Amino acid sequence: MKPPQFDYHAPGSIEEAVTLLGSYGGDAKVLAGGQSLIPVLNFRLARPGVLIDINRIGALSFIREADGGVAIGATTRQRMIEGSDIVGRRAPLLADATRLIGHLPIRTRGTIGGSLSHADPAAEDPAVVTALDATMVALSKRGERRVPASGFFRSLLTTALEPDELLVRIEFPPTPAGTGTAFVEISRRHGDFALAGVAAQVTLAGDRASEVRLAACGAGPGPIRLAAAEKIVRDGGASAASIEAAAAAAAAGVEPTSDVHASAAYRRDLVRAMTRRALERAVARAAGGTR
């Protein structure tokens, strides 16, 4: 369980990092919090010739309000996001989800950009950006490229990032007034990857659900937007019957696989339960004004 040999670079600036990526491209791996990459290296499941450690680039770590929403630098630690007032106000769903990521030591090292770039289908961050239609901003020597969440996750552990591109920040859109959020997941043990999890954001306008956003994790090769379920609640309102129907639609719309922790059928069943709970909680928060 020792990594194979690699060359190591620790650039001090974004420009330097992008230049290194430009010259090494596919032979390089970017090291952020290391919560996924280091085990992968130790198991020799990846053999990059070069490791580009971006932890020393201060300009990649920030949380700021932007265009009514929030922009977060790629190496911002999940622990910082968890405790951020800005995130709590501007992207409460992300705050809900971040609390469920791993354990405190993991969140203290783990970064949002690392989680999104790694694209583990059971991870929380990919489901949140998918639900919220956040924008991933990638930089290379060729320039900046903005990739919507809907086009970012390609397949298992694979994103739209090109080998020479560095994910530099994530932009979350504004959260409308009257919105409630919830991230609900179930895992074998506290802190494990979810067997299934659902991110929900519901905006109420009177009796109507004017905006409904739902995404699942742990239920397919990547995060899955639960569009059919969203439509049911948007059209039918936040009644118990509507939520139950949406939960059923969510379960029908995912593509889980079986592994040592759960069968595909069980995961699908859990998506139903998690969707129902996430919607109930988000609606209650929207109605109560507590998000």
Partner 1 sequence: MREITGYVGKPLLRREDRRLLHGEGQFVGDIVLPKMVHCAFVRSQVPHARIKGVDFAAARRAPGFVTALSGRDIRNVVTPIAGMQVSIPKGWRDRFHYHIDVPAQQILADDKVNYVGEAYAVVVAEDRYKAEDAAELVEPDFEVLEPVVDVDRALKPGSPVLHAEVGSNVISVMSTKKGDGAAALARAKHRIKRRYYHHRYAAMPMECRAVVADYDIRTDSLTVWSSTQVVHWIRKEIGSILGMPEERVRVIAPDVGGGFGGKGHVYPEDVLVPYLARTLRRPIKYVEDRFEHLVNSAHARDNFHDLEIGFDDDGKIVCIVDDFVIDSGAYSPVGATCAANSIAHLLGPYDIQNYEAKGTLVATNKTSNAPYRGAGRPEAAFAMERAIDIAANSIGLDPILMRLRNMVPPERLPFSVGLPYRDGVPITYDSGDYPQALRRAVEELGGLENFRRRQAEGLAAGRYLGIGVGCYVEGTGVGPFEGASVRLDPSGKIMVAVGANNHGQGHETVFAQVAADVWNVPIDQVVVTTADTAAVPMGYGTIASRSTVTAGSAVVHASAKVKDKVLAIAANMLETPTADLEFRDGAVGVKGVPDLKVTLKEIWWASRPGWDHKRPPDMEAGLEANHYYEPPTVTWSYATNAAIVELDPDTGRVTVEKFVAVHDAGILVNPLLADGQVRGGLVQGIGAALYEEIAYDENGQILMGTLADYLLPTADDTPPITVIHQEIPSPSNPLGVKGLGEGGAIAPPCAITNAVSDALRPFKAEFNATPVRWEQVRKVFAEAGVSTPRGRG
Of 112, 186, 209, 251, the one binding partner 1 (CB under 8 A) is: 186
Count of residues interacting with partner 1 (CB under 8 A): 27
Of 56, 156, 263, 287, the one binding partner 1 (CB under 8 A) is: 263
d(CA 261, CA 28): 32
Among 287, 84, 274, 48, which Cα is nearest to 179's? 287
Of 140, 280, 283, 291, the one binding partner 1 (CB under 8 A) is: 280
Stretch 34-53: interaction string toward partner 1, x if CB under 8 A: -----x---xx---------
d(CA 183, CA 257): 21
Of 234, 277, 285, 291, the one binding partner 1 (CB under 8 A) is: 277
Element (H, E) at 184: strand 179-186
Residue 6 within binding range of partner 1, rule CB under 8 A: no
Q: Which is nearer to partner 1, 79 or 169 (CB)?
A: 79
Of 98, 161, 193, 283, the one binding partner 1 (CB under 8 A) is: 193
Residue 203 in tokens:
């905006």
**Distance of closest approach, residue 102 Cβ to partner 1, in angstroms:** 11
Residue 2 within binding range of partner 1, rule CB under 8 A: yes
| Residue 131 burial (CB count, 10 A) | 30
Q: Which is nearer to partner 1, 131 or 182 (CB)?
A: 182
d(CA 262, CA 160): 29
Residue 273 within binding range of partner 1, rule CB under 8 A: yes
d(CA 234, CA 208): 7
**222-238 burial code (b ≥16 CB/10 A, e <16):** bbbbbeebbebbbeebb
Q: Which residues bind partner 1 (CB under 8 A)?
A: 1-5, 39, 43-44, 186, 188-193, 240, 260-263, 266, 269-270, 273, 276-277, 280
